[in-house]
């Protein structure tokens, strides 16, 4: 009968060897973008990457980049960008941006607009809008 100590050692060695074989590839540069990237999301197929970049002047640009070629497409611009995610199996980016608004009473809130962007036809579509007092839109929109 195998002792627990030998079984643990063999199992640990096997896990280490499997881990080194299936290690993730090293990160590679896909494209040069102006400014600093904040939120970066890759679609499930790994063919597109999207990121909001700070232009340094208070504006942000949403870029979509084809990972195989490095081709970059400007999707949108905003002074107050929000979260984003790729919709699986649809080649569609779902994202939001906001703008500050005040009620007549002087109470301020953020008018958040949600969009989709289709990589096939390169078109943006407005999905909905809501009022957000807490700035929760800066995290993922789902």
Residue with tokens 């611009």: 77
- Residue pair 131/108 in contact (Cβ under 8 Å)? The answer is no
Q: What does each of the 142 residues of the chain score in pLDDT, given as a tens digit?
A: 455 555 555 555 555 555 544 455 556 666 767 777 767 899 999 899 999 998 888 899 999 999 988 899 999 999 988 889 999 888 899 999 988 888 777 778 888 999 999 999 999 999 998 887 777 666 655 5
Q: Quickly list DSSP for 95-133.
A: EEEEEEEE-TTS-EEEEEEEEEEETTTTEEEEEEEEEES
Position 22 scores a pLDDT of 47
- Residue 8: C-alpha distances to residues 2, 18, 19, 87 (Å): 10, 15, 16, 42
CA separation for the pair 5, 139 (Å, rounded): 46
Exposure letters 127-138 (e unless 16+ CB within 10 A, then b):
eeeeebeeeebb
What is the three-class DSSP state of 89? coil
The pTM of the full predicted model, rounded to 2 decimals, is 0.71
């Amino acid at each position: 009968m195998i002792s627990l100590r030998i079984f643990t050692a063999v199992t640990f060695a096997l896990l280490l060897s499997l881990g080194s074989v299936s290690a993730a590839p090293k990160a590679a540069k896909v494209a040069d973008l102006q400014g600093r990237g904040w939120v970066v999301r890759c679609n499930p197929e790994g063919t597109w990457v999207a990121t909001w970049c700070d232009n340094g002047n208070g504006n942000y640009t949403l870029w979509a980049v084809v990972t195989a070629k490095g081709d970059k497409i400007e999707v949108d611009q905003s002074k107050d960008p929000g979260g984003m995610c790729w919709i699986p199996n649809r080649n569609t980016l779902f994202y939001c941006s906001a703008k500050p608004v005040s009620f007549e009473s002087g109470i301020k809130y953020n008018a958040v607009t949600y969009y989709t962007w289709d990589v096939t036809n390169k078109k943006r579509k407005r999905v909905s809008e809501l009022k957000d007092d807490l700035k929760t839109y800066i995290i993922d929109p789902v």
